[in-house]
Amino acid sequence: MRTSVLTCLSLSATALLAASCAPTTGTETADSPPRARQCFSVQQVNNFRQGRPDQVFLRVGRSDVYELSAAGGCRDLDFATRLAVVPDIGGMAGTRLCTDDWARVVVPGSTSPTEVCRVRISRKLTAEEIEALPANHRP
């Protein structure tokens, strides 16, 4: 019985090790350079719109648009006239946010003093993606 359990554990460990070395389906390879993070300062945000309940679009500067993915959704954004984007690191990153960073969106709420939701800076949209956004999602 003990040999059987050890053999099973050994086979499981071997399978996990082999799977960890298997090629992935991602676009990055070991030879390709890492994807450059795109960043902005929160002072550059001049407009926003909610997409789906778990999606926020920020207009940054004159022509950039960033997509934020909310963990659990952001309430009161559809009626908000202002918001604050606060880096999640507690001020250690200053006011600069980059793709894949986490932040908090603070909205003066209609049913509570403020509504706070946690978001991840997903990506910077291309000009074509901005044009393809529905008008009510485009900041």
Q: Is residue 66 part of a domain?
A: yes
Number of domains observed in the structure of the chain: 1
Q: Is residue 28 part of a domain?
A: no
Question: In whole numbers, what is the pLDDT of the chain averaged over residues?
Answer: 76
Q: 116 lies in which domain range? A: 39-132
Structure tokens at 17: 């090790």
Percentage above 90 pLDDT, the chain: 47
Q: Tell me which of 79 and 47 has the higher pLDDT.
A: 47
> Is a pLDDT exceeding 80 seen at residue 42?
yes
Q: Is residue 103 part of a domain?
A: yes
Q: Tell me which of 15 and 123 has the higher pLDDT.
A: 123
Q: Is residue 17 part of a domain?
A: no
pTM: 0.70
Q: Is residue 108 part of a domain?
A: yes
pLDDT at 124: 97
d(C-alpha 64, C-alpha 62), whole Å: 6
Backbone angles phi, psi at 55, to 5 degrees: -135, 135
Of 27-36, 75-84, 89-98, least confident by mean pLDDT is 27-36
pLDDT tens string 7-18? 332 333 333 333
Q: Is residue 94 part of a domain?
A: yes
Q: Is residue 90 part of a domain?
A: yes
Q: Is residue 13 part of a domain?
A: no
